[in-house]
């Protein structure tokens, strides 16, 4: 991806996190990215293209901050600890996570009213659920694939809900993290 295109996507994420999807104006995006509006249209064609590509950018950013910085030595941590660590990284008080989570929530809410976002959002969500289901399978090797997929759906939905409550100030971050750890424990304790 070109550097300009990446900078535009970073700027779009900032604008969406700050003003919401409805507040995203191409002129403001151009100013935020330090480029012309024609360059934005060159790279993304229209507003729907900007939103679709921003969603992919947000997902890629989340993949980076939830991934291990350095691979852990084999058997260094339990699969359960690995699962918790990945999920808890979605609930970090860092500027990147706050911005990403806020923009993700805005795009998810907008998909209710803008059907063109739904397919891309569903695909991105499916990938995240699949990744969590794989971690669950490692933590619970006796479980079934359908059970892991259902648990992954519940846990990722919980992360999104906890994130919205935390970001909106109705739930302290440490409490959100404790609730998430309790949910992981409950999911792994199921028969």
Could you report the per-residue pLDDT of 43-92, keeping only the tens digit for each? 999 999 999 999 999 999 998 888 765 555 555 579 999 999 999 999 99
- Residue 142 has a CB neighbour count (10 Å cut-off) of 7
CA–CA dist 165, 157 (Å, integer) = 12
| 101-122 mean pLDDT | 92
Give residue-wise pLDDT tens across range 146-181: 999 999 999 999 999 999 999 999 999 999 999 999
Q: In the predicted model, is pLDDT for residue 10 greater than 60?
A: yes
| 36-47 mean pLDDT | 94
Q: Say which residues have a Cβ less than 8 Å from residue 84's Cβ, sequence separation at least 6.
A: 180, 181, 184
pLDDT at 186: 96
pTM value is 0.87
Per DSSP, the three-state class of 54 is: helix
Average pLDDT, the chain: 92
Q: Say which residues have a Cβ less than 8 Å from residue 162's Cβ, sequence separation at least 6.
A: 91, 171, 176, 179, 180
* Residue closest to 52 by CA, chosen among 117, 146, 3, 108: 117
Confidence band for 34, pLDDT divided at 50, 70 and 90: very high
Residue 151 sits at the vertex; the CA angle it makes with 141 and 168, to the nearest 5 degrees, is 135
| 107-123 mean pLDDT | 92
CA–CA dist 104, 160 (Å, integer) = 9
pLDDT at 190: 77
- Please report the DSSP string for 95-138 in residue order: HHHHHHHHHHHHHHHHHTT-GGGHHHHHHHHHHHHHHHHHHHHH
Percentage of the chain exceeding pLDDT 70 = 94
Q: How far is CA 127 from CA 108, 155, 188, in A?
A: 15, 14, 21
CA–CA dist 157, 155 (Å, integer) = 5
pLDDT at 2: 75
The runs of H, that is alpha helices, within the chain are: 3-19, 26-33, 37-44, 47-66, 79-88, 95-111, 118-139, 145-167, 173-189
pLDDT at 31: 95
Confidence band for 185, pLDDT divided at 50, 70 and 90: very high
| 123-143 mean pLDDT | 96
| 13-22 mean pLDDT | 94
């Amino acid at each position: 991806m070109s550097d300009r295109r990446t900078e535009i996507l970073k700027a779009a994420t900032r604008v969406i996190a700050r003003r919401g999807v409805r507040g995203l104006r191409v002129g403001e995006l151009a100013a935020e990215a330090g480029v012309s509006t024609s360059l934005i249209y060159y790279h993304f064609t229209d507003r729907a293209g900007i939103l679709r590509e921003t969603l992919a950018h947000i997902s890629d950013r989340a993949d980076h901050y939830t991934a291990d910085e350095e691979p852990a030595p084999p058997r260094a941590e339990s699969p359960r600890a690995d699962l918790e660590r990945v999920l808890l990284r979605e609930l970090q008080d860092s500027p990147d996570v706050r911005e990403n989570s806020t923009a993700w929530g805005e795009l998810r809410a907008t998909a209710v009213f803008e059907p063109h976002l739904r397919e891309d959002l569903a695909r991105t969500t499916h990938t995240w659920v699949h990744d969590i289901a794989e971690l669950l399978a490692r933590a619970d090797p006796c479980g079934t694939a359908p059970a892991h997929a259902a648990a992954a759906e519940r846990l990722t939905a919980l992360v999104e809900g906890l994130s919205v409550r935390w970001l909106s100030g109705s739930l302290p971050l440490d409490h959100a993290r404790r609730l998430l750890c309790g949910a992981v424990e409950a999911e792994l304790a199921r028969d």
